[in-house]
């Protein structure tokens, strides 16, 4: 695949590019924020969609046995996880699913744990439903490595008020792939204190070491019975706009309850386009994904090596997964507001502010590297120029 091919996304109602001037307040900031890719979807997906469009009829659609089989085969092939077709429940997206899950499985006032800094919607899906948010901040070493704070987590669990933990696995934005040992320890605590695990595994396929990701429900029978696994082909194959996700729920009672609330809000209908793209991606997208991961890893190594040589104020720790780089700018000594202004107005870069991921993210920025190598080089050039000017001030 030629991932160096630049595709003009302007004037396509593209949130990442066309809406950047509104978000950043300038017209010349290079957009490297929203978590979608600047690459075309796999050729097999595009071809399957073209054939489906040529049919010309786009009526009501349901997830077929072939669709479910493709998901099962993918989980087995990529993650060595054997799942059953009836565990799969379609939903139009992982974030909508999180809202439904919080609504269905907790009550107002219940406590829900999230591990911060973390994907911003995790905050809203808890707070907008009147549940109590309990942060379990990740531990950050001097080397820039993140780990779970199990002591703090057990302290929260031991109150008896925590009913759910929303796990980000792999973690967005810090890029950790939780080890099997870490997940096993988490599972043990959840069993001891009877806590439901909702595991957002939307980035599971974007892991740089093959086989490193362990689906939470694959740990043990108990882990499977007390978990809901949120998956989607959207990040993996750059088809987020098709609004297709799949919750994998081994426990029949949990599955039935989720389906009930899904039907209550009439959100259980898949689109013919989403179904076609998902099946084609899972059946024929493996080689494309392997090549993509090599290319993105190259982008990350470029940024890391460039920062080491030219930008000593920055600390870049290579992520284990995702195409999102979590960069520590605290060495510049700027406040959160000053850093935002510097990057937008001086460096002309549109990145995700670390503060949006929680107070632990202040001083950090998230950079989307699912883009051409030329885009990365341009971003580094802008950043280097701006920091050199900043040093003179």
234-283 residue pLDDT tens: 999 999 999 999 999 999 999 999 999 999 999 999 999 999 999 999 99
Equal fold, 15-42+287-385 vs 58-284: no
- For residue 136, what are its two tokens? 């379990």
Report residue 324's pLDDT band, with 50, 70 and 90 as the boundaries.
very high
**Cα 252 to Cα 86: distance, rounded to the nearest angstrom:** 9
Given this model, what pLDDT does residue 15 score? 97
Q: Determine which helix (DSSP H) or strand (DSSP E) holds 228, and give its type and residue range.
A: strand 227-231
Reported as a single tens digit per residue, the pLDDT across 347-357 is: 999 999 999 99
Q: Which residue has the tokens 């600047």?
A: 38
- Going by CATH, does the domain composed of 58-284 fall within 3.40.640.10? yes
- What b/e sequence results for 118-138 when a residue is b if at least 16 CB atoms lie within 10 Å of its CB, and e otherwise? bbbbbbebbeebebbbbbbbb
Residue 384 has pLDDT above 90, yes or no: yes
The CATH code belonging to domain 15-42+287-385 is 3.90.1150.10
Question: Residue 61: its pLDDT value, please?
Answer: 96
Q: Decide if 70 contacts 279 (C-beta within 8 A).
A: yes
pLDDT in tens, 51-106: 999 999 999 999 999 999 999 999 999 999 999 999 999 999 999 999 999 999 99
**Dist. CA 211–CA 197, nearest whole Å:** 22
For the chain, the distance separating the N- and C-terminal CA atoms, rounded to the nearest angstrom, is: 44
Q: Does 155 score more than 90 pLDDT?
A: yes
The DSSP line for 72-89 is HHHHHHHH-----GGGEE
Identify the bridge partners of residue 111 per DSSP, sorted by sequence position.
132, 162
> Which of 136, 165, 164, 166 lies closest to 148, judged by CA?
136
Q: Where are the domains of the chain?
A: 15-42+287-385, 58-284
- Taking all residues of the chain, what is their mean pLDDT, rounded to a whole number? 98
Task: Mention every residue, 6+ apart, whose C-beta is less than 8 A from residue 80.
Answer: 211, 218
Residue 349 pairs in a beta bridge with 30
The pair of structure tokens assigned to 242 is 């098709």
Q: Each residue of 177-227: pLDDT tens digit?
A: 999 999 999 999 999 999 999 999 999 999 999 999 999 999 999 999 999
Query: 53-58 long-range CB contacts below 8 Å, 24 or more apart?
Result: 58/271, 58/272, 58/273
The answer, yes or no, to whether residue 393 has pLDDT greater than 90, is no
DSSP 8-state symbol, 344: I
Average pLDDT over residues 165-175: 98
> For the chain, what is the radius of gyration of the CA atoms?
21
Q: What are phi and psi of 162, to 5 degrees?
A: -80, 120
Digit-coded pLDDT (tens) for 355-374: 999 999 999 999 999 999 99
Percent of the chain with pLDDT over 90: 99
Instruction: Quickly tell me which residue has 């900043």 as its tokens.
Output: 390
Determine phi and psi for 177, rounding to 5 degrees.
Answer: -105, 110
135-139-132 Cα angle (round to 5): 5
Its pTM stands at 0.97
Q: Which residues are 279's β-sheet partners?
A: none
């Amino acid at each position: 695949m030629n991932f160096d091919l630049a595709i003009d996304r302007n004037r396509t109602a593209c949130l990442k590019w066309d809406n950047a001037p509104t978000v950043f307040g300038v017209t010349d900031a290079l957009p490297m924020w929203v978590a979608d890719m600047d690459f075309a979807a796999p050729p097999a997906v595009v071809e399957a969609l073209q054939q489906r469009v040529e049919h010309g009829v786009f009526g009501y659609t349901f997830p077929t046995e072939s669709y479910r089989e493709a998901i099962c085969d993918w989980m087995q092939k990529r993650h060595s996880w054997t799942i059953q077709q009836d565990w799969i429940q379609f939903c139009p997206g992982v974030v909508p699913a999180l809202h439904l899950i919080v609504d269905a499985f907790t009550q107002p006032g219940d406590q829900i744990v999230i591990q911060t800094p973390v994907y911003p919607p995790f905050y809203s899906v808890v707070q907008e439903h009147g549940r109590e948010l309990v942060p379990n901040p990740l531990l950050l070493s001097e080397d820039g490595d993140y780990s779970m704070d199990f002591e703090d987590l057990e302290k929260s669990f031991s109150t008896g008020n925590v009913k759910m933990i929303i796990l980000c696995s792999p973690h967005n934005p810090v890029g950790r792939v939780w080890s099997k040992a870490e997940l096993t320890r988490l599972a043990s605590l959840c069993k001891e204190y009877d806590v439901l695990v909702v595991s957002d595994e939307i980035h599971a396929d974007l892991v740089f070491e093959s086989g490193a990701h362990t689906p939470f429900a694959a740990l043990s029978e108990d882990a499977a019975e007390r978990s809901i696994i949120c998956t989607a082909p959207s990040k993996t194959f750059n088809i987020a706009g098709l609004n297709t996700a799949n919750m994998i729920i081994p426990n029949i009672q949990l599955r039935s309850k989720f389906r009930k609330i899904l039907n209550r809000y009439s959100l259980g209908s898949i689109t013919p386009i989403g179904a076609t793209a998902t099946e084609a991606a899972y059946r024929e997208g493996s080689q494309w994904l392997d090549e993509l991961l090599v290319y993105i890893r190259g982008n990350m190594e470029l940024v890391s090596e460039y920062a080491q040589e030219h930008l000593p104020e920055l600390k870049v720790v290579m992520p284990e997964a995702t195409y999102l780089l979590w960069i520590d700018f605290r060495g510049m000594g700027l406040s959160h507001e000053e850093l935002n202004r510097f990057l937008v107005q001086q460096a002309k870069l549109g990145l995700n502010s670390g503060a949006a991921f929680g107070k632990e993210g202040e001083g950090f920025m998230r950079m989307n590297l699912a883009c051409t190598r030329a885009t990365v080089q341009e971003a580094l050039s802008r950043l280097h120029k701006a920091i050199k000017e900043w040093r003179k001030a």
